[in-house]
Chains A and B, each alone.
Chain A
Amino acid sequence: MSMGKFYVTIIHRPEMVPEYLQKEAEEGKAEDLTRSEVIQESINIFRTQQRVAHDNGLRTTIQMTYASLFSSEVVAIAKEHHEKYGDEIGSTFLGIQCQQFRDKFKSKELAVWLFSMEDKKRVVDEVIDKFYAVFGFYPTSTGSYYMDAELVNYIKSRYPMIKVAVATCWEEGPKAYWNANNSWYTIFDGSPWNPWIPSKRNIHCPASCEEDDIGIVAIPHLSRDLLAVFDGPGSYYGTHPQNILRGMVYEGREIPYFRNIVDQYRAMEKYNGGYAYNMMFVGPGWMSKNGRWESDYDSLHKSYEDGMAYYGQLKREGKAQDLTMSEFADVYRQDRPYTRPECTLWKDILYGSERQQFWYVDPWMRTCLDMNQGGAMIDLRPYAAKLVRPCGVGTKCLQDASYPFLVQSFYRAGYFTHYAGEGAVKSSKFCHRGEEVDLCACRTLASFSEEGDTRIVTLDPVEIEFANFTIRVQSVFRFAEGMGEIEIVREIIDTTDLQAEVTIDEYITACYGTTEYPEDLTGVRLALEGASETERIDYAYRCREAEVDGVVLAEALVPQVDTRLTMRTDTDEAAGYFREGFAFSPMYTIGIKKVIKGKGELRTWLKVEKAS
């Protein structure tokens, strides 16, 4: 990928019966999918969106919904704009509901990933074949809010020309469900935030090699605020101007926050070899003439105009390149080794803090370090396991299409628990004669650098005060490409008492799951391998602990998510330990600790592997 490229993909989907418009029109009336005022308003909004993009010199990808394939007006617009502006005509599985669909499938289902596998195949065939019948060619791009691997594998088997899909919404999971009064079933946390090539086994996981390559480039639905959305509704904070209005991140009619998000995404080139990406994808339902989200139509329209104007400005200044979805897929694949990670040091642009979070994705893991908590790991998804986890009717997971975590500190407490037990987090404690300070309590900032194929996050030193002396501690995280392993260095770089002994205790407290609620840890195995002894237990909520000297390996085997999590060190002077939890604290901990006199370091490696 060439240096310093910021790619922008603008997607419009001509929904004929968008949920929001339909609900408004329906008030006090029975459902009618052929309501002409809704369909016409929707087409008009689609025209407006296209005009706004073209006025700003931007090309779009028109994702034809199934319903729109029956509209000669929309089909004519798509053909005209393809000819005139070079817009791509693609397909989408959003917006399938219309009278024709209802008659054919006898279903009100709107989410393609939630059909049974048998029905997914029928829907895919119908949608793509209808597209072909209308346009005389097959689409090369498609999408939905979520595209499970099983669905995409089927699509590729039948329509191999499809090379790109909008495949997930980043961190739409329990938070989105809650935000929508527990009625919006987009439950699929755990994917990358920027485009990736997915694994055949699970769409969330980046493919690790050609054999694992599902055959498409996946694009997340919107470019989202990585900090705000990790702890808030996905539909408030992203490159979707009306999402921002929904989140009320404005004063008056101006939303500088939109540009701030775009610019922070542009800055990702610093962490990804000069490459950065953005996508904007707004359905017509968000620009209703009646207004929406406390905003009148003028505000909705202005926000869209302003957003598009900024992309247009960047393009004119040579700072952005607009690509259609399929064009982007080609460019992306030109220079994307499977092992290459995506990373970013995201900073708060919303709440006025200086908070930074470092996000990292590769085929082995997705993780997040929170500088507000001394670099604590607050998210860890074991992609290495490549869990086959089908969703939809007839599957065990059904609506829960998230990729499981081992650590998600906001769902499972993290450092602060409610005065009992432990929460999921990876951090380090510094201990001296009964005093103990966790780095989670030491707010700091970080910087990013690279050494060959290693990405390095270096934290500013923090001060830890014991009763009679003070130490300065620096943390460094090193991510070596293709290893599935993080090297973590905790160094006491300064002390006011060179004779004082401090124990550095590097630990990870983890669990597994996809939601806030605990899962059964029975069957998890904790093990230690020391210089001359080993310890092993099967998890049974019995508060057992063990420790070995000269630790070689500390291990947690989590068969529920087919994951082996290990810690090792490079010194034979460290002890390893594990700690079983109990029912009120359903966690397991493995750790490595070492006594340092004066100054010194503890270096450990955390590895995530597929267990089976």
Chain B
Amino acid sequence: MAQGRKGKLNYRCPRCLMREIDMDMLYDRDAGEYYCLRCSFVGDEQEVLRLNAQFREKYQDRTRRITDF
């Protein structure tokens, strides 16, 4: 199999991110997929972005400007 290399923008493993571990993934150019050395996640860029969006959902106030303190 091909050598794993850093992918663009240092994509972190979205599954590890869910447990608050910043784990840069490696990218397999031949397979066109990212993979995690720790948790066995494997997926293409769309899958990474989908899970990242899911990760952000926990921040219910991420788009809200709060000024009342």
Q: Which residues of A contact B (CB under 8 A)?
A: 24, 27-28, 175, 178-181, 232-233, 246, 248-251, 254, 256-257, 259-260, 263-264, 266-267, 270, 290-296, 347-352
Indicate whether B50 reaches chain A with its CB closer than 8 angstroms.
no
| A256 and B63 within 8 A (CB) | yes
Chain A residues whose C-beta falls within 8 Å of the C-beta of B61 in the assembled complex: 257, 260, 348-352
Closest to B23 in A: A181
Contacts of B66 in A (CB 8 A): 256, 260, 263-264, 349
Closest to B56 in A: A248
A contact residues around B5 at 8 Å (CB): 27-28
What CA separation (Å) do A347 and B12 show in the bound complex? 29
Q: Is the CB of B69 within 8 A of A248?
A: no
Contacts A181-B23, A248-B17, A292-B9 supplied; 20 other A-B pairs, CB < 8 Å: A24-B6, A24-B10, A27-B5, A175-B20, A179-B20, A233-B20, A248-B55, A248-B56, A249-B56, A249-B59, A250-B56, A251-B62, A256-B64, A257-B59, A263-B66, A267-B69, A348-B61, A349-B61, A350-B60, A352-B59
When C-beta atoms are compared, the residue in chain A nearest to B65 turns out to be: A256
Chain A residues within an 8 Å CB radius of B23: 181
Neighbour of B9 across the interface among A233, A249, A256, A291, CB < 8 A: A291
Q: How would residues 45 to 69 of chain B score, 1 for a CB under 8 Å from any chain A CB and 0 otherwise?
A: 0000000100110111111111101
Of A246, A257, A291, the residue contacting B22 (CB under 8 A) is A246
* Interface residue from B9, B16, B62, B67 paired with A295 (Cβ < 8 Å): B9
For A257, give its contact among B16, B17, B55, B62 (CB under 8 Å): B62
Residues of B within 8 A of A257 (CB): 59, 61-62
- The residue in A181, A291, A295 that gathers the most chain B C-beta atoms within 10 A of its C-beta is A181
Q: Which B residue sits closest to A299, measured CB to CB? A: B9
| CA of A6 to CA of B58, assembled, Å | 31
What are 30 A-B pairs with beta-carbon distances under 8 A? A24-B10, A175-B20, A178-B21, A181-B16, A181-B21, A232-B20, A246-B22, A248-B52, A248-B56, A250-B56, A251-B56, A251-B62, A257-B61, A259-B65, A260-B61, A260-B64, A260-B65, A260-B67, A264-B66, A266-B69, A291-B10, A292-B10, A294-B10, A294-B11, A296-B9, A348-B61, A349-B61, A351-B60, A351-B61, A352-B60
Q: Is B38 an interface residue (CB 8 A)?
A: yes
Measured CB to CB, the closest approach of chain B to A182, in angstroms, equals: 9
Q: Number of A-B pairs whose CB atoms are under 8 Å?
A: 88
**Interface readout for B1-43 with A: 1 if CB under 8 Å, 0 if not?**
0000110111110001100111100000000000000100000
Q: Which residues of B contact A (CB under 8 A)?
A: 5-6, 8-12, 16-17, 20-23, 38, 52, 55-56, 58-67, 69
Measured between beta carbons, the chain A residues less than 8 angstroms from B67 are: 260, 263
Residues of A within 8 A of B17 (CB): 248
Give the residues in chain A near B63, CB-CB below 8 Å: 251, 254, 256
Residue ID in chain B nearest A294 by CB atoms: B9
Q: Which residue of B lies closest to A232 (CB)?
A: B20
Give chain A nearest CB distance to B2 CB in angstroms. Answer: 14
Report which residue of B9, B17, B52, B64 has the largest number of chain A beta carbons within 10 angstroms of its beta carbon: B9
CB distance from B56 to the nearest CB of A (A): 5
A343 to chain B, nearest CB (A): 14
Measured in the bound complex, the distance between the Cα atoms of B23 and A91 in whole Å is: 32
A271 to B15, CA, bound (A): 40
Chain B residues with CB under 8 Å of A232's CB are 20
Chain A: CB-nearest residue to B21: A181
Answer whether A178 and B20 are a contact pair too, CB < 8 Å, given A251-B62, A350-B61: yes
User: Are A350 and B10 in contact, with the CB atoms below 8 A?
Assistant: no
Q: Select which of A27, A251, A259 is within 8 A of B6 by beta carbon.
A: A27
Give Cα distance in the complex from A351 to B58, angstroms: 6
The CA of A24 and the CA of B20, in the complex, are separated in Å by 22
- Collect the chain B residues with CB atoms within 8 Å of residue A266's CB: 69
Q: How far is the CA of A180 from the CA of B69 in the complex (A)?
A: 32
Residues of chain B with a CB closer than 8 A to A24's CB:
6, 10
Complex CA–CA separation, A295 to B8 (angstroms):
10
Contacts of B20 in A (CB 8 A): 175, 178-179, 232-233
The 5 closest A-B pairs by CB, nearest first: A352-B60, A267-B69, A256-B65, A291-B9, A260-B66
